[in-house]
Amino acid sequence: MTTLTSPGTLGSPTAPARPDIFAAHEQVWDRIARYSLLTAIFLSGWGLLRVGQINLTFSDLAFLVSFTISGLRGRLSATPFRSLTPFWLTGLVMMLGGLFIGSVVNGDPLRWVNIALQYTVAFLFIPVLLMQQEERIIRTAPLIFMLGITCSEVIGIAASFFLTFHDTLHWLGDGFITGNGRLGSMAGQPNPNGAVVAFSMPMLLYAMRQRLIGAVGGFACLILLLWGLMLSASFTGFAASLMAIFVTLLLMGVRYIFRLGLGAMVAAGLFLASGAPLPKAFQERVGNAVESGDIDQAGTFINRSQLIQEAWGFAEDNVIVGMGVDQYRELSAYDNPVHNLFLLIWNEGGAIAFCGLILLLGLLCLLAANGLRIGRDRGAMAVAVVLVFLVYTLSYPHMYSRMWVMPVMVALAVVYTPRRAARPQGSVRLIYARPVGPQPLPEL
């Protein structure tokens, strides 16, 4: 019998084997890229796991593996924010350009190279990779991030029972458990630890709402996150977490507020009935400020306010050309950068860099708010996560570390990643019965 073949197959019934081998290899590479990205998201709040003393974490390494493979496979998005991408790039170029001018005129251009690379990875490479992922991967990304932070808190809580500052100093640094008993856990310092917990709260509520995690598992994660938050004794983290929870519940709907609010009241009642004391550091840094209503008792607020007053004094001399990257620390009487991103960018980069920062933050707010029109639950999470980020811009210096930007981009990716069919792998089953096109973005 003569075998019927298409042109180019040479009549061999086994000819398709070569494409099948290539397809198998492609699936392997895709799998490596996918799991590397999920690993990067899971570890993005683990600042202690880094390569040497430089700002390169294990999460960054996993991200770069995923980014490299995806780039070679042509799986990166040239327009991560679609119609708003040019405005996003304009803001980033303005901010880095202003910092470059200040560094060339008044500072050290080599320091600018380092910070420009950090900001480019955080504010450009992450969305370029995330916004191109399949919906089934991105949908679970908030859960992955939240579980990573929960595991970090579990490690820290367990260590606090058996170890002290002196036990962990040599191996984990002075921030895992501080000298006054505050918990930095795997984030490396107490304040960043409070921040990643605050980012996790809206993601936990979203995961529970979408049934990505069961009620029992979600409640257990909530207890562990709150426990870690109290041990961190971060007033900013405490305030940001409360705001994030309130905003998420408010935007998700009244019924959801009632059910979770009732559960929270029961949990609070059980805690008070048990007579368990609050952690000493939390009572001193947060509890006293809440009870008295005096924010001056909130941790290092007085010291930060002094830096802010000094920054306002410097600002008059840095309107056109800034002092350059990392020069604020050199010129400050307190040997520290001002803990306010707006004032730091203004002083180090001048008005051009400041306007670029405002454009970037304005676009984040616009994207998050527009998410409410696309999907209520996803939009609520995105708004709350962006709100946490904005809170920390008022109390932190440069925010190029991926622990700050990854949760924001994950939340936005959940909103704007197109819902589409999964790639067939021996089946024609779709993720959704009725796939829809790319989610719309607001036009300026």
Which of the four pLDDT bands, split at 50, 70 and 90, describes residue 424? very low
Q: Is residue 91 part of a domain?
A: yes
Which of the four pLDDT bands, split at 50, 70 and 90, describes residue 69? very high
Q: Mean pLDDT over all residues of the chain?
A: 83
Burial label, 117 (beta-carbon count in 10 A; 0-12, 13-18, 19+): middle
pLDDT value of residue 444: 46
**Beta bridge pairs of residue 57:** 50
Per-residue exposure over 398-432, b if at least 16 CB sit within 10 Å of its own CB, e if not:
bbbbbbbbbbbbbbbbbbbbebbeeeeeeeeeeee
- CA–CA separation, 90 vs 48, rounded Å? 33
Is residue 222 within 8 Å of residue 430, measured between CB atoms?
no
pLDDT value of residue 22: 38
**Residue 435, pLDDT above cutoff 50:** no
Ranking 42-56, 246-260, 397-411 by mean pLDDT, the lowest is: 246-260
Helices 190-209 and 376-393 cross at an angle (nearest 10°) of 170
- CA–CA separation, 409 vs 96, rounded Å? 20
User: Furthest-apart CA pair in the chain: how many Å?
Assistant: 94
Q: Would you state the structure tokens that stand for residue 400, as one six-digit string? A: 């190029």
Ranking 145-149, 241-245, 249-253, 255-259 by mean pLDDT, the lowest is: 255-259
pLDDT value of residue 20: 44
Q: Would you state the structure tokens that stand for residue 134, as one six-digit string? A: 């399949």
pLDDT value of residue 248: 93
**Beta bridge pairs of residue 177:** 183
Is residue 209 within 8 Å of residue 256, measured between CB atoms?
yes
**Residue 316, pLDDT above cutoff 80:** yes
**Residue 78, pLDDT above cutoff 60:** yes
Q: Is residue 228 part of a domain?
A: yes
- Residue 349 phi/psi, 5-degree rounding, is -125, -5
Give the list of residues 6+ apart from residue 108 with CB closer than 8 angstroms, or none.
324, 325, 326
**Residue 395, pLDDT above cutoff 80:** yes
Helices 402-416 and 17-42 cross at an angle (nearest 10°) of 120
- Domains held by the chain: number: 1
**pTM for the complete prediction?**
0.85
**Residue 9, pLDDT above cutoff 70:** no
Q: Is residue 265 part of a domain?
A: yes
Q: Is residue 342 part of a domain?
A: yes
Distances (CA, A) of 372 to 137, 214, 415, 419: 21, 24, 9, 16
The predicted model gives 157-178 an average pLDDT of 87
Residue with tokens 């593996």: 65
Which of the four pLDDT bands, split at 50, 70 and 90, describes residue 142? very high
Between 53 and 363, name the one with better pLDDT. Answer: 363
Distances (CA, A) of 274 to 213, 226, 270, 277, 279: 28, 17, 6, 9, 14
- CA–CA separation, 9 vs 110, rounded Å? 57
SS3 435: coil
CA atoms within 13 A on the CB side of 3: 10
pLDDT value of residue 278: 65
**Residue 23, pLDDT above cutoff 70:** no
- CA–CA separation, 355 vs 347, rounded Å? 12
Q: Is residue 164 part of a domain?
A: yes
Distances (CA, A) of 141 to 88, 207, 334, 412: 23, 10, 40, 11
**Residue 304, pLDDT above cutoff 80:** no
pLDDT value of residue 204: 95
For 198-248, write each residue's pLDDT tens digit.
Answer: 999 999 999 999 999 998 999 899 999 999 999 998 889 999 999 999 999
- CA–CA separation, 377 vs 253, rounded Å? 9
Give the list of residues 6+ apart from residue 434 with CB closer than 8 angstroms, or none.
none
How many residues are listed for the chain in this entry? 444
Which of the four pLDDT bands, split at 50, 70 and 90, describes residue 421? very low
**Residue 396, pLDDT above cutoff 50:** yes
**Residue 302, pLDDT above cutoff 90:** no
The predicted model gives 248-268 an average pLDDT of 70
- CA–CA separation, 122 vs 405, rounded Å? 6
The predicted model gives 301-330 an average pLDDT of 85
DSSP 283: I
- CA–CA separation, 14 vs 154, rounded Å? 54
Domain of 88? 22-416
The predicted model gives 282-300 an average pLDDT of 55
- CA–CA separation, 265 vs 175, rounded Å? 33
For 87-117, write each residue's pLDDT tens digit.
Answer: 999 999 999 999 999 999 987 889 999 999 9
Q: Is residue 165 part of a domain?
A: yes
Burial label, 111 (beta-carbon count in 10 A; 0-12, 13-18, 19+): middle
Is residue 138 within 8 Å of residue 417, measured between CB atoms?
yes
Q: Is residue 357 part of a domain?
A: yes
Q: pLDDT exceeding 90 applies to what percent of the chain?
A: 52
Is residue 260 within 8 Å of residue 249, measured between CB atoms?
yes
Closest residue by Cα to residue 380 from 40, 142, 38, 83: 142
Sequence letter at residue 111? R
Closest residue by Cα to residue 247 from 365, 400, 127, 394: 365
Backbone conformation region of residue 396, classed left if phi is above 0, alpha if psi is from -120 to 50, else beta = beta
- CA–CA separation, 52 vs 139, rounded Å? 33
**Residue 403, pLDDT above cutoff 50:** yes
Q: Is residue 2 part of a domain?
A: no
pLDDT value of residue 165: 82
